[in-house]
Structures are given as C-alpha cells and as structure tokens.
Amino acid sequence: MEIRILGVADLPACSDLAESRSWPREPPKWALLHDVGWLFGVDAPDGDGLAAAAAFVTFDAVASISMVLVAARYERRGLGRAITAHAIAAAGDRVVWLHTSRFGRRLYESMGFIADGGSQGHVGRFADDGGPATRPATDFEEIVRLDRLAQGVDRRPLLERLGTPHAVDGGFAFGTDIGHATAIGPVVAESEEQAKALIRGVARAAPGEVRVDPDLRFPGLAEWLRERGLVPTAPAPRLVLGGRRLPGDPGRRFAAFTRAAG
C-alpha cells in the first residue's frame, strides 16, 4: 500500500479514521497539523477512506510523529510500522520524538525509541478555585522567545496558529479550540504557581470543557487539575528515537499544546 502526503480534501477522512478507533474527531487539530507539518496516509484498498494515517511536524533540529492510526480492518499488516518508518526517514538527522499509548509502545521501542518521561491528559469543566489568574498577552515576540527557551527550537509557525495566549513575566499559555474542548497549552512557566495562574486565566475564558496535558515531572500540577474537576486519561509516555536528548529547558515545560504537537 502506497504512503502519500494527504491534502486538505483528506482531512474529513482523518477525522473518520480517528473516530473509528474511538479517538475524538478533532477537525481543528488535523487542520493545524496539516498547516504546520505533513500528514501521511494510506488509502484503504476497499475504497472506504484511509487505511492508515500519521502526522509529522519539524521545527529546526527536532521532529515529532503523532496521530498514528490504522483502521481496525487493516491491523496486523505492518501499516503502523511502515508509516512510522516513513516519517523517520523524512526526519533525516533530526531528533525524533513521539507520545505513545500502552498499545503502541512495544512497536516503537522495537524501532529504537527510548522512554523519556511523558504526559497525561486531563479533560473536563474547570472548577475555579478563585486563585490569581492571567490576562491575554500583548507581546507575541516575547512568547516566541520564551517558547524557544523552553523548547530549544523556533516554533513560530505553530504558535501563530494557536488560539488566545495569556502571559506572565517569564511564562505563557495558549487556549485553542480543538473541536471537543479548549486545549490549554503549551504552558511555559518559571514555577508551578505561575503555571496554575496561566491555566486559570485561559480556563476562565473557555466556553466549555478544557484539556490540559501536564508533564509527568509535575505531579502536583496534575493533582491540582484533578481537584479542579478535570478527569485524567491514560498516561502517554514520551519516547525519543535512539534516546537522544531533546533541546530546551524541560523545567519550563509544564504542559504541551497537545501530545500531537508538543
């Protein structure tokens, strides 16, 4: 089965494939990944949508692979391995990372990926605790600078596609509609209290449910989110090809935008 680059016309099929595997449809997320990176796909031989799909995004010396999906009727034919290998080849000598579920971990580790922390999604309606919050940011260039410090690469194309940013001295967070919730992230901060203030600020402006994916390095933040009414999903280990070091300052990275784009 041929792997091809997917276009705008293929985005509904990506959401259909995700829904068929009990993932949220999230059309805005698929559109964003298409705009800032590449979507790879395999057409289903039976003519019904996609047999497999994956997203691939690069920023300078780093590449991420995400949204790796295979239709149930085409499982165990090597499509997941093939489409992941295709993305790895496209990455060249970049540092390649991904988040995985417990179902995909064995596959990725067999391809040379090594565990490097992870995150855990929390979803629900935010029960405000009345603590200090932030307001919308006014200096976008400062957000780009702070993100570069945290990530070690320039991610301006991604940041420009996200929703409303909030900021504090030394930190920021975005609130972005991903279809079923407002994703709060990336959350970049100098302390956990700053991260909480940023999350409060974005959550207070969100129209419904929110999603936050705190890094596993910050269990106190995850506990606070659960106290605020957000329900945890399964942990998502982060794996890096060859165990290479990701650039940037991990102590500033309190939560990703999503596990798909970091």
Dist. CA 93–CA 23, nearest whole Å? 31
**How confident is the model over 226-248, as a mean pLDDT?**
97
Q: Stretch 78-87: mean pLDDT, rounded?
A: 98
User: pLDDT digits over 52-63, tens only?
Assistant: 999 999 999 999
> What does the pLDDT average to over 41-47?
97
Tell me what pLDDT residue 122 has.
Answer: 97
Q: What is the mean pLDDT of residues 85-100?
A: 98
How confident is the prediction for the chain on average, in pLDDT?
96
Q: Enter the tokens of residue 175.
A: 């609130």
Q: How confident is the model over 195-229, as pLDDT tens digits?
A: 999 999 999 999 999 999 999 999 999 999 999 99
Position 131 scores a pLDDT of 97
Nearest to 55 by CA among 97, 107, 111: 97
What residues have CB less than 8 Å from 105, skipping those under 6 apart? 237, 239
Tell me what pLDDT residue 180 has: 86
Give yes or no for a cis peptide into 250 (omega within 30° of 0): no
Report residue 115 CA to chain centroid gap. 17
Tell me the per-residue pLDDT of 144-189, one tens digit each, with 9 for 90 and over: 999 999 999 999 999 999 999 999 999 999 999 988 899 999 999 9
Residue 69, pLDDT above cutoff 90? yes
pLDDT score of 247: 97
pLDDT tens-digit profile of 24-36?
A: 899 999 999 999 9
Quick one: pLDDT at residue 259? 76
pLDDT the model gives residue 179: 86
Percent of the chain at pLDDT > 70 equals 99
Which tens digits make up the pLDDT trace of 6-18?
999 999 999 999 9
Q: What's the Cα-to-Cα distance from 229 to each of 61, 175, 188, 195, 212, rounded to whole Å?
A: 38, 18, 22, 17, 12
Band of the pLDDT at 102, cuts 50, 70, 90?
confident
Does the pLDDT of residue 103 top 90, yes or no? no
Distance CA 234, CA 24 (A): 14
Can you give the pTM of this predicted structure? 0.93
More confident residue, 44 or 102: 44
Per-residue pLDDT, 258:
82
Domains of the chain with bracketed CATH? 3-93 (3.40.630.30), 121-233+246-256 (3.40.630.90)
